Amino acid sequence: MIAPLAACHLLTLCLTSHPQSAPAPQRLDVRLPDSRLLDNGALEQRMNALAAAHPKLAQSIAVGTSRGGARIGALRLSDGEPPAGRPAILVVANIDGPQTFGSALALAHAEAIAAGAASDEKVRAFLARTTLYIVPRANPDAAAARFAKPLLELEATGSGIDDDRDRRVGEDPPADVDGDGVIAWMRWKDPEGEWILDPLDARALVKADAKKGQRGEYKLAIEGRDLDRDETPSEDAPRDAIVNQNFAHDWQEHGAHAGRFPMDEPEARALAEFVLQHKDIALVLTYGALDTLVEKPKSVADNAPPQKRIPQPGWLESDAGLLAELGKRYGELTSNKTKGRGSDAGSFQAWAYQHRGLWSLAIAPWDIPLDGDAKKDEAKAEGAASEPSATQPAESKPAESKPSERGKKDKEKDEPKPSDDVKRLKWIDANGEGARFVPWKAFQHPELGAVEIGGFAPFARSEPPTAAWSAIAAKELEFLLSLGADLPRIAIEKFEARAQGAGLLEIEAVVVNEALLPAANRAARRAEVSRPLKALLVLPAGAKLVGGQPQTLIRDLDGLGRRELRWLVVCDRPGRIELRVDSDNAGAATASVEVKP
C-alpha cells in the first residue's frame, strides 16, 4: 500500500479620525503545533474553542450548510464590537476541495492573531481599525475526502448528470482498482491515445505534438472501472457540480461541473449571502487553486464596451494596476511563486470582484516547485547577487560567441526541454519527497486489460513539506496584516467656517482617503453596487443653509485622493456646525467647528 502523503496542521478645530499605526518591523511568530490536518469535526471544535477562549476578540458565526449537511462556519476577529463602516477583510479557504492546506493556514492565522492581540503591535494596530472574517473551510463535503479511504482528490460534490449520455448516472466513478488505498492514475497503450512518454523521464507523460511528427501511444485517466464497457473509465461520478464553478460570473451554462444554475450549490449560495449581508467587507482573500497575485490576470480598458450587453472579461485596467502593486508587495513578503491552476469561470473569486466590486486577492499557497532543487537555486541566486560574473562583469556586453559555442547552442535548442511534470519529479527526487509520486506498476484491469497504475499521489501538489508549513503561515499572515493599511480610510483633512459679513458663513471641508485603495473600485462603479460615501452637514438651531446641499454623496474617492466641499450658511447666533462622513466599508469621520457671529 502506498502511504498517504504526510500532512501537518498548521496559520480651534475638532476632527475625529483614526490614523494607521506604524507596523512593527518584527515578524509575528506563527506556530503550528499539530502534526495533522483537521477533519470537519476537529476543525469546528478548534474554531469554537478559539471563540470561547477569546470572547471579546473572536466570535463564531454560521455561514451556512453544505449539500451533505456539514456546517460552514466563520470566525469574526475584532477589537470589540466593530463600529459601523469599519472596513473588513474576508478570508476564504478550502473552497476548492483538495486545498485542505488552506484551511490550516486560515485557522493558524486566527489563532496567531488571537494570541498576539494583547502584545503584538502589528496585530493590535490591525484589529484596532480592521475587522477580519475567516471561513477556514468553505467546502466541507469535498474536504472530507482528504480524511477518507481510499485517498482521493475530490472536487465535485453537487448535483450529478449523465456525463456519458448512456441514461445512467454515477455508474463509473473513480475507484481504487488495485486496492492500495490510493486512487491514483492509470495509463495504458492505445493507438487512439494522445499521450507519449516524456523523453527525459518516462514517469511523466506529455501530449503528442503532430507538428513534430509525434503520434500518441497512451491513454490517461483517473484510476477507476469501466463498468459500462465504453472504453472510458472513471467518466461518470455520482456528483458533478463543483462549488467554485457555480457562482454567477461567467457561469458555464453547459459545463458538466457548473451545476444546474448559478448559486444552486448550497455552499455557493451561503457564501454569496454572507458577503451580501456583511457590507463592511472591502477585500476578499482566498486560499485555493486560483491566483491573482503571482501571475497578473487578464485586464481590459476601463471604458471597454460590452459585448452582447455583457462586460468584457478581465480586471478593469485601473483596478489591475493596483492589483499588480499588491502582487509586487506579496512577492516581496512571501517569495511565493506558485501560479494558479484552472479557470476562474463561475468562481467565487471572480464573482466577488466582477459582481460585488470587492478587491479579490486569490492565493495558491504552494505547488511542487518547477525550479528543481529550490534550496540549491536559492544559493546560486544569492551568490550571483553578491558577486559579479567573472566572464561578464556588470555593465559590460557579453563577448561574441565563437562558432563552436554557437553550434553547441543550436544543438541545445534541438534537445527536448523538460516538461513541468519532469521538473516536479526532479524536485521530488532532490528533496526526498518520494511519497508524492506513486511508482507506475503493471496491473491487469478487469475491463481494460493491461494498464499501469501510479502517478502523482493525491494532494501531492497542494500540501507542502511539513517542515515548511510554519514558515509559509508566518509569511502569509504578514501579508494579510499588511493589507489593513491598504483598505480605504476616509478622514476629514480640513473643516473651516469663514465669516463673510451679515451673519453669512462660508463652510469649507476637504474629505480625503488616507489609503492606497479607492473607496470604490472601477468594478464597483460599473456594477453600481457600492453605496457612495455620505457627507452630512449638521447645523445648529436657527441656522439656515443657503448654498449647497445638506447631504452630499461622494461616489468616487481614489486612493490617497481628496474631495473639496463648500456650503453657505446664515447663522446669527453662536453654535456648533458639524460634518459627518460615513460609508459601508471605508470607515467614518466627524469634524466640528464653533461659530461666534
pLDDT tens readout for residues 113-132: 999 999 999 999 999 999 99
Q: Say which CATH number the domain at 265 has.
A: 3.40.630.10
What local confidence, expressed as pLDDT, does residue 33 receive? 42
Residue 21 lies in a domain: no
Say if residue 136 is in the same domain as residue 250: yes
What local confidence, expressed as pLDDT, does residue 227 receive? 87
Say if residue 328 is in the same domain as residue 286: yes
What local confidence, expressed as pLDDT, does residue 231 receive? 83
Residue 406 lies in a domain: yes
The percent helix, strand, coil of the chain (3-state, each to 5) is 25, 25, 50
- SS3 per residue for 421-461: HHHHHHHHHHCCCHHHEEEEEEEEECCCEEEEEEEECCCCC
Residues 99 and 597 sit within 8 Å (Cβ to Cβ): no
Q: Distance of alpha carbon 430 from its chain centroid, rounded? A: 30
What local confidence, expressed as pLDDT, does residue 169 receive? 65
Say if residue 124 is in the same domain as residue 197: no
- pLDDT score of 162 more than 70: no
Say if residue 362 is in the same domain as residue 262: yes
Residue 211 lies in domain: 166-238+401-456
- pLDDT score of 183 more than 50: yes
Say if residue 65 is in the same domain as residue 124: yes
Say if residue 477 is in the same domain as residue 517: no
Round the average pLDDT of the chain to a whole number and report it.
Answer: 88
What local confidence, expressed as pLDDT, does residue 371 receive? 84
Say if residue 350 is in the same domain as residue 438: no
Say if residue 481 is in the same domain as residue 497: no
Domains in the chain, number: 3
Residue 35 lies in a domain: no
Say if residue 198 is in the same domain as residue 264: no
- pLDDT score of 354 more than 50: yes
Residues 14 and 469 sit within 8 Å (Cβ to Cβ): no
Q: Distance of alpha carbon 218 from its chain centroid, rounded? A: 36
**Band of residue 396 on the pLDDT scale cut at 50, 70, 90:** very low
**Band of residue 402 on the pLDDT scale cut at 50, 70, 90:** low
Residue 254 lies in a domain: yes
Say if residue 522 is in the same domain as residue 452: no
Give the pLDDT confidence of 522-550 residue by residue, as tens digits.
999 999 999 999 999 999 999 999 999 99
Residue 34 lies in a domain: no
Q: Say which CATH number the domain at 497 has.
A: 2.60.40.10
Contacts of 5 (CB under 8 A, 6+ apart): 435, 436, 457, 458, 459, 460, 463
What are 466's three cell numbers?
A: 511539513
What are 402's three cell numbers?
A: 565563437
- pLDDT score of 181 more than 80: yes
Average the pLDDT over each of 171-175, 262-266, 411-415, 442-446 and give the range with the smallest value: 411-415
Residue 424 per-residue DSSP state: H
